[in-house]
Amino acid sequence: MKMTPNFTQKAAVLLLLTAVSAQAATPLEQMNAALTEWVGAQNGVPAASVTVAVQPCASSYVFDYPFVNRENVRVRCSKPNWQLFMKVGLVSGSAPVALAPAAPVPGSKAAQAPEFRQVVVAATNLQAGQLLQRDSLKLDRMEADKINKAYYVETQGLEGQELLRAVRAGEPIRISDLRQATLVKRGELVLMTVGSPATFEISVKAEAMQDGRVGEQIKLRNTESGRTLSAVVTGKGTAKGL
């Protein structure tokens, strides 16, 4: 079959675009490359020896929009307990899908009425360093134009987190106000597991040499041999050996 010149030109352009697309790194690949270089430089090891990976999840993933702007999705796992945030965007064809109501026409009834959104607020006066309980928070409505930072829109998953500043009753909770609570404290005995349940798994008691939160790497000391071990905190008084 004889190809026309026009068809040949189109095929050449398509092949060229495919080659360029294959060579271009995605934003995730660019971030991983930068992260491995930074970790390698911080620890004095080659970047090629650093591996970036998402911790496996033995339970079902739970997804939600934790903030009002709905531009970030929170991914949570309960076995082991961890969470991460992902920036997302919705597209239809080549045009982005609007994630917020269209602006009302000036002078209309909708323009005169303020828009309200639901956010998480403190149910009582809370102190810095306090661990959140189920009754520490509640949902309340707030004028949308007063929401200028990332606020939580649901209380699920916030129980047990540590408050970084004092918050008055009725005041919204921001993402910057919370952090994972300290689940391992220096001097405590920690149950450290090594291996995999699918093959073999060993559990030993070791003394924590520093405080740690979920996902943080800490140093442990074997109380029998005195050997220093490295592990990642997985829960209250538990860690996974490295």
Q: By residue range, what is the domain housing residue 74?
A: 62-90+105-179
Residue 2 in domain: no
Residues 169 and 133 grouped into a single domain: yes
Residues 130 and 67 grouped into a single domain: yes
Residues 85 and 192 grouped into a single domain: no
Q: What is the pLDDT of residue 125?
A: 93
Q: Which residues contact 217 (CB under 8 A, 6 or more apart)?
A: 230, 231, 232, 233, 242
Domain boundary pick from 179, 207, 233:
179
What does each C-alpha distance from 22 to 16, 26, 28, 52, 96 come to in angstroms? Answer: 10, 10, 14, 21, 24
- Return the structure tokens found at 239: 């860690």
Distance between CA atoms of 160 and 122, rounded to whole angstroms? Answer: 14
Residues 84 and 162 grouped into a single domain: yes
Task: Return per-residue pLDDT of the chain as tens, 242 residues.
Answer: 444 444 444 444 444 444 444 455 676 677 777 777 777 777 776 767 666 666 778 888 888 877 766 677 788 888 888 787 777 665 444 333 333 334 444 444 444 556 777 888 899 999 998 888 888 888 888 776 666 667 888 888 788 788 889 999 988 888 888 888 888 889 999 888 887 767 777 888 899 999 988 888 999 998 888 888 899 988 888 888 88
Distance between CA atoms of 67 and 91, rounded to whole angstroms? Answer: 20
Residue 79 in domain: yes
For residue 139, the tally of other CB atoms under 10 A from its CB is: 13
Residue 191 in domain: yes
Residue 66 in domain: yes
Distance between CA atoms of 135 and 141, rounded to whole angstroms? Answer: 18
Number of structural domains (the chain) is: 2
Q: What is the pLDDT of residue 101?
A: 38
Q: What is the pLDDT of residue 68?
A: 67
Q: What is the pLDDT of residue 98?
A: 34
Residues 169 and 130 grouped into a single domain: yes
Domain boundary pick from 179, 205, 224:
179
Residues 163 and 72 grouped into a single domain: yes
Residues 149 and 163 grouped into a single domain: yes
Distance between CA atoms of 104 and 208, rounded to whole angstroms? Answer: 58
The model's pTM is: 0.42
Residues in the chain: 242
Q: For residue 214, what is the domain's CATH number?
A: 2.30.30.760
Residue 56 in domain: no
Residues 210 and 157 grouped into a single domain: no
For residue 74, the tally of other CB atoms under 10 A from its CB is: 19
What does each C-alpha distance from 224 to 205, 206, 207, 228 come to in angstroms? Answer: 9, 9, 10, 11
